[in-house]
Amino acid sequence: MKNLFTIVFLVFSVTLVNAQSKYIKGKLTFLDAPLANAEIVVGTDTKVKSGVDGSYTIVAEEGDVISYSYSSMETIEIIVEDVTSVLNIQMNQKVEELDEVVVKGSNRKSQQELEMEYGYNKNLIRTAWGILDSETAAGTMRFLKDEDINDIAICILDVLRFQVAGVNVSGDCITDGSVNIRGISSINLAPPAIFDVDGQIFTDTPIWILPSQMERVAVLSSLSLTTQYGSIGSGGVVVINTKTGVSGIAGTKILDRARLRNNIYQNDAVETQLVVKNSPTYLTSLQASTNIETAREIYSKNRKTYRSSPHYFIDSYAYFTGKGDSKFANQIIEDQKYLFEDHPVYSKALAYHLEANGDTEKAKDVYEQVFIMRPSYAQSYRDLAESYREVGNFKKSATMYARYNYLLKEGFLESDSVGILPIIERESENLMALEGDKIMDGAKTIKRFTKYTEFDGTRLLFEWNDSEAEFELQFVNPEKHYYTWKHTMEANATRITDEKRKGYSCEEFLVDGSLPGRWQVNINYKGNKKLEPTYLKVTAYYNYGKTSQRKEVNVYRLGLKNVNQQLFDLNNSSIVSTN
């Protein structure tokens, strides 16, 4: 590297001067159906409409804000970044006031009144659009209460088979199946029913939900009840309320409060085997290899097909390092490094895997390249500082933290108080507390910082390579109570906008040591506006701030969407809190 620190301001200047227009394309959908005639706007002059298939193309520059709007939908705003080229947007129904949403019927009640009755009125069921009363609903609804659900059944297919009139069930609970509802149109022409599970919409049958977890089930066939689901609901809707009662699109504050009152984990996260089963074909074929030679042959066979896919080579690298074939894995990256050199998102994914494999020197080189590509991103300073620390260059690490604080103070970087700044302060003070003597050339540090450095428990740091990634993290404590942190545009748009403006994609959680035992961390991945996986790096710091401090790094490939899936277990402690 040629004097990395002296070129910081030069790179800033070049970045500002060379901002160029580029085409951004994508599709707009609502409940997986194309959304035509939505308005896409950049600034005050550039405006386009989505086509009949929901597609659009618009010209924008890095730093611009693209606004997506449609009548009765929540407006979504996305900041254009250096790597932004595809933005597939899932629009959400606008919910102005929950109290004013009523269910049509002879006895009209507000959603607030129905919510208060839900606990004891077993004729009510929650949908993505509010609560319906089976006795007053404006259409045909076949209803199964808790006592009507067959405990012998294995999944929803068994629950509905032969128990609900006018419903045809095909398949089984092992290999999958579908549900067809008579009354929408001819049984031979209507598409299969979709599933509304606690407000989350699934087009695939949710066979992973055990009947013992189901509280109420309703089958909606009338157009008056299914029209809000759009074209994908034309074959009818099977609504399932589980005993955990997860909030959906119309859930807002009332259902969130209900979750806080009844946050008991029901063991409903799918196991790793299902996630692996849903991996890309090239990955499942590698995982099915009986020996390393066969795996190499499979890799070579697929290499030409996926020659332009960085994810193929990252996943292959992870597979072979996991099998102990590091030499072959390193050669994979060496041969394809041109795919990563000019793309910070792919480069970060590569650096994550290098770190997890203990190749800290190569990871440092990658982070240096990301820094040059993104000198205005706060995450670039933090990542490079920690990377220098990992290779034992504590002075350079301290210098990077000092450089960040200087640029922040002088206004070259956007001010921050609740985003990545507490993480940087914690890590820089931890560096001084544990490595201060080496940074000061043997001189003893006078002050030991305690604001961020030491606590009794485990520190978890989550980082993701793609800023567009949306997901929900679920922390389940040893007593089976859970806490959910939502990183989605629907639930936390302000936070995601702040991340993009300041340039960071991370969050830390402190697991206090007062409740020892086994914790479980689950994730529900929502996508990243592109048909690409997201890579999540999780660093667990044990005995944080003490001389015995140690850490473990793991990287997870996120591709399976809208399923709560097991991520990892943690043997430690108590209340999970952010910052």
Indicate the Cα dihedral angle 390, 575, 208, 532, nearest 10°: -30
Please tell me the predicted confidence (pLDDT) of residue 102. Answer: 40
Please tell me the predicted confidence (pLDDT) of residue 104. Answer: 38
**What are the beta bridge partners of residue 576?**
511
Task: Name, in order, each residue with C-beta under 8 angstroms of 321's C-beta and a sequence gap of 6 or more.
Answer: 329, 353, 357
Burial class of residue 6 (count of CB atoms within 10 Å of its CB; 0-12, 13-18, 19+)? exposed
Please tell me the predicted confidence (pLDDT) of residue 71. Answer: 84
CA distance linking residue 154 with residue 169, whole number of Å? 14
Same domain membership, residue 33 and residue 164: no
Same domain membership, residue 75 and residue 217: no
AA letter at 116: M
> pLDDT digits over 291-332, tens only?
999 999 999 999 989 988 999 999 999 999 999 999 999 999
Same domain membership, residue 107 and residue 56: no
Q: 496 — phi, psi (to 5°)? A: -65, -40
Domain boundary residue, one of 33, 63, 90? 90
Same domain membership, residue 252 and residue 189: yes
Please tell me the predicted confidence (pLDDT) of residue 557. Answer: 94
Same domain membership, residue 186 and residue 155: yes
Nearest to 318 by CA among 344, 288, 351, 281: 351
pLDDT band at 103 (very low <50, low <70, confident <90, very high): very low
CA distance linking residue 570 with residue 190, whole number of Å? 46
pLDDT band at 339 (very low <50, low <70, confident <90, very high): very high
Mean pLDDT, the chain, as a whole number?
82
Same domain membership, residue 210 and residue 179: yes
CA distance linking residue 71 with residue 86, whole number of Å? 23
CA 479 to chain centroid, in Å, comes to 25
Q: Is 357's pLDDT higher than 70?
A: yes
pLDDT band at 101 (very low <50, low <70, confident <90, very high): very low
Q: For the chain, how many structural domains are there in total?
A: 2
CA 501 to chain centroid, in Å, comes to 19
Are the C-beta atoms of 180 and 207 separated by less than 8 Å? no
Q: Identify which has the larger pLDDT, 550 or 490.
A: 550
Domain boundary residue, one of 32, 64, 90? 90
Please tell me the predicted confidence (pLDDT) of residue 58. Answer: 94
Same domain membership, residue 112 and residue 82: no
CA distance linking residue 134 with residue 141, whole number of Å? 6
CA angle (385 as vertex; 380, 386 as ends), nearest 5: 105
Task: Name, in order, each residue with C-beta under 8 angstroms of 50's C-beta and a sequence gap of 6 or more.
Answer: 27, 28, 34, 35, 36, 37, 38, 40, 56
Same domain membership, residue 65 and residue 106: no
Q: Is 249's pLDDT higher than 70?
A: no
Please tell me the predicted confidence (pLDDT) of residue 164. Answer: 81
For the chain, helix, strand, coil in percent to 5 are 35, 25, 40
Q: Which domain holds residue 242?
A: 98-261
Are the C-beta atoms of 501 and 416 separated by less than 8 Å? no
**What percent of the chain stands above pLDDT 70?**
84
pLDDT band at 182 (very low <50, low <70, confident <90, very high): low
Q: Is 515's pLDDT higher than 80?
A: no
**Helix, strand or coil for residue 39?**
strand
Q: Is 488's pLDDT higher than 80?
A: yes
Mark 175-185 as b/e (b = at least 16 C-beta within 10 Å). Answer: eebbbbbeebe
- Residue 372 included in any domain: no
Return the structure tokens found at 419. Answer: 């985003």
Please tell me the predicted confidence (pLDDT) of residue 574. Answer: 44
Nearest to 244 by CA among 575, 518, 564, 569: 564
Same domain membership, residue 185 and residue 152: yes
Same domain membership, residue 251 and residue 115: yes
CA distance linking residue 504 with residue 348, whole number of Å? 12
Return the structure tokens found at 290. Answer: 């009986």
pTM of the prediction?
0.67
Domain boundary residue, one of 246, 261, 276? 261
> pLDDT digits over 170-180, tens only?
998 888 899 98
CA distance linking residue 379 with residue 158, whole number of Å? 49
- Residue 120 included in any domain: yes
Task: Name, in order, each residue with C-beta under 8 angstroms of 518's C-beta and a sequence gap of 6 or more.
Answer: 478, 569, 570, 571
